[in-house]
């Protein structure tokens, strides 16, 4: 695929990162390098055009080999852009060409930094920016190793003058050289500081007669500072734009991943895991005086729907029932597909009487809904519902019993206390771990499930309350036909 500048747009860039082949991404990185080298080439052209005016503080003879090197590197990366776009991912030489892409670029940037004059702005943007782009578009281990190589080269360029090694530099210090005996060890920023001191001294002591020298120094300072801003700022803006776009893409991807992770694909409801998580959170945030109701809903004779109409119609029934639940409940309700043809409905801050009315409404809406099919007669389904309301008074009683029980429990004499005063034998160890929200939620669901089984045994298509069963000592689990 031939890469283009238009691929830098938000939507196309997302395709580059997530959908393009490795060779195409490497080709795009080569194109970025061509764009950067083009700015260097234009700078050389500008200096050459104004060489008479800039001759005092630019080493023009040294400009020509730099310009030639910039041209050669630009042509090389331009050729790589096209070559890599035609390279297949399964090509065994792709890794080699990625190395051929980033190693020469690293050496090139090091040479440019040295010859233009070391600047923390220019060197920092080149060092960090190039590594960040490389991490996105090529193998990360290559980008990391080349980053370390570039750090080493820049450090060598900084310390080389201290060992008497004069590195080529386009910057001509025509005023500083006569004043200082050994200026070669100075870094670019140190030279700038010396120039500012000289300019300040000239400004204060006009008797020196260095008006022309002062103007020369000020012009040199402005030119070289502008040069480094020109070389660093566009690249910095471009890299920030790239990573801003990347973060937007990641935000969208995160939302999409969470949607698929938390949503049941068939019914578009919350899946079991996410529904239970939200139930636990709702239980932890419910006020002390609020009741907490749980409904477990199961479609009646759903196996016959699949057998008589096919699994596609069965999936249609599940989806339409899910939509009926969403339309019948408020936004505060937590609705999830619990498994198969079972649905879990959590009603925070809902008393028992109100929850029973809601459950009856759900049962009636489902039974009155007509399922339309293309080739077979339309039909209706019914549902059985089991309900349990965890009242505020019950929560207070459990907390009190737990507090009393924990004072009597020792590692040598551990006993169990009832979590709910039911005639069933549901008990838990008297430890804090057993009373965590996930265990409490599972107990509530189990109670609603007991009531659901009673509803199934009573001919289905009805709502049964576990609270009422507890009151009449009828919490048993009869057998029923599937």
Say if residue 419's pLDDT is above 70: no
**What is residue 318's predicted lDDT score, i.e. its pLDDT?**
94
Q: How far apart are CA 437 and CA 481, in angstroms?
A: 33
The CA–CA distances, whole Å, from 84 to 26, 43, 76, 145 equal 7, 28, 12, 21
Least reliable range by pLDDT among 83-87, 334-338, 476-480: 476-480
| Percentage of the chain lying above the pLDDT 90 cut | 29
Least reliable range by pLDDT among 219-223, 279-283, 377-381, 402-406: 402-406
CATH node for 272-471: 3.30.70.270
Say if residue 396's pLDDT is above 60: yes
At 218, is the pLDDT very low, low, confident or very high (cuts 50, 70, 90)? low
Residue 371, C-beta contacts closer than 8 angstroms, at least 6 positions apart: 313, 316, 317, 320, 378, 379, 380, 381
Residue among 357, 358, 275, 367 nearest 321 (CA): 367
Say if residue 362's pLDDT is above 90: yes
Say if residue 178's pLDDT is above 90: no
At 228, is the pLDDT very low, low, confident or very high (cuts 50, 70, 90)? confident
Q: How far apart are CA 76 and CA 71, in angstroms?
A: 9
**What is residue 408's predicted lDDT score, i.e. its pLDDT?**
55
**What is residue 91's predicted lDDT score, i.e. its pLDDT?**
59
Average pLDDT of the segment spanning 384-407: 78
Say if residue 390's pLDDT is above 50: yes
Say if residue 478's pLDDT is above 60: no
At 334, is the pLDDT very low, low, confident or very high (cuts 50, 70, 90)? very high
Q: How far apart are CA 119 and CA 188, in angstroms?
A: 6
Q: pTM of this prediction?
A: 0.55
Domain boundaries, the chain: 5-261, 272-471
Q: How far apart are CA 476 and CA 424, in angstroms?
A: 8
- Any idea what the Cα angle at residue 443 is, between residues 442 and 446, rounded to 5°? 85
At 424, is the pLDDT very low, low, confident or very high (cuts 50, 70, 90)? very low
Average pLDDT of the segment spanning 388-417: 64
Average pLDDT of the segment spanning 398-403: 67
* 162 against 364, higher pLDDT: 364
At 9, is the pLDDT very low, low, confident or very high (cuts 50, 70, 90)? low
Q: How far apart are CA 47 and CA 28, in angstroms?
A: 29
Least reliable range by pLDDT among 139-148, 205-214, 444-453: 205-214
* 248 against 174, higher pLDDT: 248
Helix, strand, coil shares, percent, the chain, to 5:
65, 10, 25
Q: Using DSSP bridges, classify how beta strands 334-339 and 292-299 pair: parallel, antiparallel or unpaired.
A: unpaired
Say if residue 335's pLDDT is above 90: yes
Q: Using DSSP bridges, classify how beta strands 383-390 and 463-465 pair: parallel, antiparallel or unpaired.
A: parallel
Average pLDDT of the segment spanning 410-437: 43
User: Highest-confidence range of 132-141, 158-167, 256-265, 448-457, by mean pLDDT?
Assistant: 448-457
Average pLDDT of the segment spanning 388-415: 66
User: Highest-confidence range of 19-33, 149-163, 330-344, by mean pLDDT?
Assistant: 330-344
Residue among 37, 31, 38 nearest 137 (CA): 31
**What is residue 433's predicted lDDT score, i.e. its pLDDT?**
40
Q: Helix, strand or coil for residue 415?
A: coil
Reported as a single tens digit per residue, the pLDDT across 100-127 is 889 999 999 888 888 887 677 777 888 8
Say if residue 146's pLDDT is above 80: yes
Average pLDDT of the segment spanning 239-251: 76
**What is residue 76's predicted lDDT score, i.e. its pLDDT?**
93
Residue among 348, 353, 352, 337 nearest 279 (CA): 348
Average pLDDT of the segment spanning 38-46: 93
Put the strands of the sheet holding 342-348 in their side by side order: 334-339, 342-348, 292-299, 383-390, 463-465
Mean pLDDT of the chain: 78
**What is residue 168's predicted lDDT score, i.e. its pLDDT?**
83
Tell me the H-state helices in 138-210. 140-159, 176-179, 188-204
């Amino acid at each position: 695929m031939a890469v283009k500048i238009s691929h830098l747009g938000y939507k196309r860039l997302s395709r580059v990162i997530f959908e393009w082949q490795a060779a195409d991404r490497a080709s795009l990185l080569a194109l970025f390098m061509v764009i950067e080298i083009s700015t260097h080439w234009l700078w050389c052209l500008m200096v050459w055009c104004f060489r008479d005016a800039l001759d005092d503080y630019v080493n023009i003879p040294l400009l020509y080999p730099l310009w030639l090197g910039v041209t050669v590197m630009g042509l090389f990366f331009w050729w790589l852009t096209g070559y890599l776009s035609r390279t297949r991912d399964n090509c065994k030489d792709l890794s080699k060409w990625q190395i051929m892409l980033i190693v020469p670029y690293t050496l090139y940037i090091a040479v440019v930094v040295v010859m233009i004059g070391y600047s923390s702005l220019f060197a920092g943007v080149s060092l960090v920016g190039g590594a960040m782009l490389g991490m996105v578009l090529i193998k990360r281990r290559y980008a990391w190793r080349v980053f370390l190589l570039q750090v080493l080269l820049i450090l060598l360029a900084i310390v080389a003058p201290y060992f008497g090694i004069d590195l080529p530099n386009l910057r001509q210090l025509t005023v500083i050289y006569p004043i200082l005996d050994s200026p070669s060890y100075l870094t670019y920023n140190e030279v700038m500081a010396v120039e500012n001191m000289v300019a300040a001294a000239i400004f204060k002591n006009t008797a020196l007669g260095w008006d022309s020298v002062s103007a020369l120094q000020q012009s040199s300072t402005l030119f070289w500072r502008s040069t480094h801003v020109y070389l660093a700022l566009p690249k910095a803006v471009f890299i920030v734009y790239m990573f801003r776009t990347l973060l937007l893409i990641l935000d969208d991807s995160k939302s999409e991943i969470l949607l698929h992770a938390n949503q049941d694909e068939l019914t578009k409801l919350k899946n079991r895991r996410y529904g239970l998580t939200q139930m636990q959170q709702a239980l932890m945030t419910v006020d002390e005086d609020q009741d907490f109701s749980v409904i477990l809903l199961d479609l009646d004779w759903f196996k016959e729907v699949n057998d008589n109409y096919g699994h596609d119609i069965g999936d249609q029934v599940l989806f339409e029932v899910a939509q009926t639940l969403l339309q019948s409940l408020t936004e505060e309700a937590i609705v999830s597909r619990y498994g198969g043809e079972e649905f879990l409905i959590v009603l925070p801050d809902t008393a028992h009487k109100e929850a029973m009315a809601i459950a009856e409404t759900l049962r009636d809406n489902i039974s009155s809904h007509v399922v339309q099919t293309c080739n077979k007669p339309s039909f209706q389904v019914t549902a059985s519902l089991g309900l349990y309301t965890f009242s505020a008074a019950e929560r207070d009683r459990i907390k009190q019993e737990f507090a009393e029980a924990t004072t009597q429990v020792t590692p040598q004499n551990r006993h169990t206390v009832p979590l709910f005063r039911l005639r069933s034998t549901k008990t838990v160890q008297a430890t804090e771990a057993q009373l965590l929200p996930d265990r409490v939620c599972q107990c509530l669901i189990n109670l609603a499930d007991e009531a659901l089984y009673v509803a199934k045994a009573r001919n289905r298509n009805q709502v049964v309350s576990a609270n009422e069963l507890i009151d009449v000592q009828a919490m048993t689990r009869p057998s029923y036909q599937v």
